[in-house]
Amino acid sequence: MQLTRYTDYGLRVLVYLALLPKGERASITVISETYDISRNIINKIVHQLGKEGLISTYRGKGGGFELKKHPKEINIGEVVLLLENSMTVIDCNSPQCVILSSCKLQHILHEATNAFVGVLKSYTLNDLIGLERENLIELLEISC
């Protein structure tokens, strides 16, 4: 399984926000420059994460965005499912495969995908940070 860059970047945004000191907000520009990712992509991700209720966004002076929930309440598997367009590994219908009615591959890959997502669902954003919090803060140059 390979996740899209969009999902990868979305998880990076959440990690960054989870590391901010309480009460601080991030801007699209800061995250874009920190990770060297286009502002346009970060903007789309922030919009979707806000729409999904994972982050709060604020406009104007002192604006920016922050986590809406504690990192322990943000499930990685659920975030991946929200950000990925599809978790289908192969498309047996485009064009339709002649052995589709007798082939077990699609079922096996569906089972493997469910196992993959199941493992991701056993982790939270807090687990991603874990004992590396201080190292991550230093690497991302977040001032505390």
Q: Find the CATH number of the domain harbouring 19.
A: 1.10.10.10
- Indicate whether 36 belongs to any domain: yes
Residue 113, phi then psi, degrees to nearest 5: -65, -45
- Indicate whether 30 belongs to any domain: yes
10 vs 23, which has greater pLDDT?
A: 10
Number of folded domains that form the chain:
1
pLDDT at 144 over 90: no
- Least confident among 36-40, 58-62, 67-71, 98-102: 98-102
Average pLDDT on 24-43 reads: 96
- Indicate whether 109 belongs to any domain: no
Task: Please tell me the distance from the alpha carbon of residue 14 to that of residue 55, in angstroms, as a whole number.
Answer: 8
The pTM assigned to this predicted structure is: 0.88
